[in-house]
Structure 1
Amino acid sequence: MKRTSGIINPQLSRVIAECGHTDAIVVADAGLPIPLGVERIDLAYREGSPAFLDILDSVLEEFIVERAVISGEMETESPGMLAAVKERLEQFGVSVEAVPHVEFKALTRDARAIVRTGEYTPYSNVMLFSGAPF
């Protein structure tokens, strides 16, 4: 469910608006495999652009999140990115659950959409589950 009208990418804006309670959107790095049948919103246009955190910030401005899941490997492979993700989600009262990367990839099969960024930092992926405005 949309929080504001700030995202101008029509595909991303539509997906956020279409989400209901517990639907999931994944903000992903450039390397995350996207399962067949899951909508791909490919924003990447070169290495590092757009940055994962820029897209995450934009999504969090509009998307009501009640839960978030990351790959546990982010803790050891990209601790700086993990700290940045946690900091952003904590602003909305959302804690982060870590699961093995294999399990994370399996969870993405049920995502409403995966937003691919140009991020090259390993394991920079987060699955955001929609909350409700009431």
Structure 2
Amino acid sequence: MLKTIHPLINAELLTVLAEMGHGDELVIADRNFPAESVAAETVSGLCIQLAGVDATEAARAILTLFPLDTFVDTPVQTMAVVGDPAADIEVHRAMQAVMDEAEGRAVGMEKAERFAFYEAAKKAYAVVRTTEARPYGNFILKKGVVFD
């Protein structure tokens, strides 16, 4: 056990977060996302399992260590609702609140069409699969810089 590291951050996830650099992206996926097949095409090829954790819990833990990119307007991407891309759904609002709180600022988040999201996710560094039950609980986070 390590001090000050959130207990949801396991050794595999800690290693991935430490390996990632500015501009690298991390996918946080729900239980319905094709996480293993997408992860196989990512930079690391890794799908890290966080069982018993929803997307917002996972993000809250990850964002204790992971800065979001401040050099882009929208460092977070989410999957738009099929057939209603402008839909404002609860899981997206909840994630927005988690990100804003973690960063202490309003964080930009853009929506991507389902298949465009899959393609973007394949270019990420790794995938974190949660057991998020809310549909469209999928997010891509762009890593920023730690300024001392």
Q: Same fold (TM over 0.5)?
A: yes
Contact 2:56 2:98 in 1 (8 A): no
Written as runs of structure 1 = structure 2, the 5 A alignment for 1:70-109 is 70-73=78-81, 76=87, 79-91=89-101, 92=103, 93=105, 94-109=107-122
> Alignment RMSD, CA only?
1.8
Alignment partner, residue 50 of structure 1: 53
Percent identical: 28
Q: Structure 1 residues 124 and 75, CA, compared in 2 at 3 Å: closer, same or farther?
A: farther
* Cα deviation digits, residues 22-80 of structure 1 (max 9, x gap): 00111110111132233100122xxxx2222111110111101121100121853x711
Which structure would you say has the larger Rg? Answer: 2
Residue identity matched to 2:21 = G
Matched, 1:126 2:127: no
Aligned residue among 46, 68, 76 for 1:39: 46
Name the structure with the higher strand share. Answer: 1
Residue identity matched to 1:18 = E
Matched, 1:68 2:76: yes
Alignment partner, residue 24 of structure 1: 25
Contact 1:29 1:119 in 2 (8 A): yes
Q: What is the distance in 2 between the residues matched to 1:111 and 1:68?
A: 12
Per the normalisation by structure 2, the TM-score is: 0.78
- Gapped runs of 5+ residues in structure 2? 70-74
Which deviates the most, 26-35 or 124-133?
26-35
